[in-house]
Structure 1
């Protein structure tokens, strides 16, 4: 009995949760809603605007509210154009909690963030004719930016954007690492006093040696984990990748200086070496290969040749299997496989005749076959469909009943079938038509409108233009489409064009914000990355590189590492 009651209680809760209330149209003096209805469904967002001389109590000229289970996300209000929305002062915070809007001549007091001070001593913002006259918080002199990141370590003090003159911070390394340099760092006249690092508490490395190279500077007797030493190749050699040796866990990772005319181990697709391969081959050396089963050498040449640092490789091409021609038989015995360029002659069965060539030809593993058609029957030549391309390579002739599949070009779609069919010498062709015109008004087609008909109307029918935050909306020629262009660095996500269909706007796009790059971590002339964009930069004060990716407005930095040239 208890189980039945519990099940009923859970079912009742789920039932209540599914039913969501609609919202009545909220009151709005001196304004209007788009669309204008008495009630709105749960989850619907609507826009509102204000009459001439007024504006929404927001930072945009169009407001938006959302219905959630009978409640609106906020109360829409229209205020005079001379009133001001709550102000924002960069690098400062309001002294008191901000109101939604302020009348003319009202003042709002601010205090600068740590490390900043007011320019001219002015600390108040004043509302003047709908616009704020704002104070300016500027960096104090001799302050420092955040110090460089210390990998495998951290700063004991909380994070700050600005550090004042003579302010000191302390570093600590994670377990298994030790401090290399001073653990204290002091901001002095805008610069940090030291650059500590955390290195593995591992054995040191002795002096490194690189074959066919010499060190760029005098060597020390020992090196700590993570230390690097740059080398210079001897005359006639060049680096393969990095030019530096790195001490890792007591062992050197060494660069390689190679003869630029030599070659590394070769690889031939669809083949295997006939001998054991070496790591390096001098200029002019040969390596013999054997093609895999079902492949053969082009021009019967099985050798790879090292020529001035580059391999000239043989090609293993696929063979053709036994050919078959409908309504025909070969004039000679057939082999198990055929090389590219080989021919096989056929003759048509009684009552059939050739439409064109009478032989099959092997081309790169595929047969080009003749066609035997019923005697006196007309065949079709290769078909052509406007605004489309064939899905497979076309033959010269096609017998009655044969079909060819097509693919419409971008911006077009099939009206009916997607293939052409040969019928007694004539092609029944598919039609690819403009996908935009396909949804145009039925006035061009005649007839009456059904309940599910898509009607593309002039944009004026849908009323005021929709608002796209951080984007500009313009009317295209013909006045049946709107084009959205995002502001600089913002990325368009969604359709570029908006249409008025059945008196409603189609899907609106979104202008995704960019990611601001921290140029204290990288060397870059760029200030922003677009959403989804990925670039590689040199790390600050290092020859290593990092990859930065913009994801949902946040710049994600990979670990700095050596870059393979």
Structure 2
């Protein structure tokens, strides 16, 4: 009898307990020194959002002259706070290390170090909080010597590390073929050099290598004499009429200054110039049966500059509507919306550095 009565009590009591535990809690009015709340109440229900402003000489610990906070199960998020108007909020820089700190802001005169993530920008730079704005802020854009994610190779995966969009210069990645396919050990590793990956491997089935060498598929460049290729019908080369031969016939692959070999096949080598150079001449180089290479490309220094797109710098309110070009190594003061204020932009290694708006 007692057991039945106890079971009945548990069935009645437990649902109520579970309901009480799952019910979100309301929030008491936050304590805001030097500020005011709208609406002002003693208690706020869950998910209520309030706005707050700060008295003269203070500002919210967030962007703008007013801010908001939301009641989340008994806690205000973010916590309403008024700070000195000359303090700085953490700089938000894409592709850079997070500079958040415990207080959520930095006092006037505080200097911090900003470092771009690997593969972006030109390393690190110091910035100082000067009366509410940072003295200079580094723009972390993809470095021209970094590489995009390597292309997909049929029947292969990269085993070195997980996927990422950008790899720093000199990064090395290793491919591994799926079961039933193989690749020479010396060709499994690729390296990022001056913005390009070195020769990509090819996964083939054992026993198919000789067939691939004997019947090399013709590329569009092989059939286009205008790009240094040979005619698909005659197999002749434009340079001297000699028949193309395996590249091993000509010995070592030629070194082209300021270029890297991005593809090496049985019958041709493909070059690409470094990022600060323009390629002139054929992309593909062949070996003639007389043991001589066809015409090599050359890499000519190109004009280096940075572009300032006002749409990308809305946080500093530039008073320009069109893209501005800055020559490598030069500085330019660009006007801001506030009369008499400017932001200084500098182009260094084709990366942009700039300051917040200031009065000259």
Provide TM-score, normalisation by structure 2. Answer: 0.48
Structure having the higher helix fraction is: 2
Provide TM-score, normalisation by structure 1. Answer: 0.32
Structure having the higher strand fraction is: 1
Query: Which structure exhibits the higher relative contact order, with contacts defined as CA atoms closer than 8 Å and separated by 6 or more residues?
Result: 2
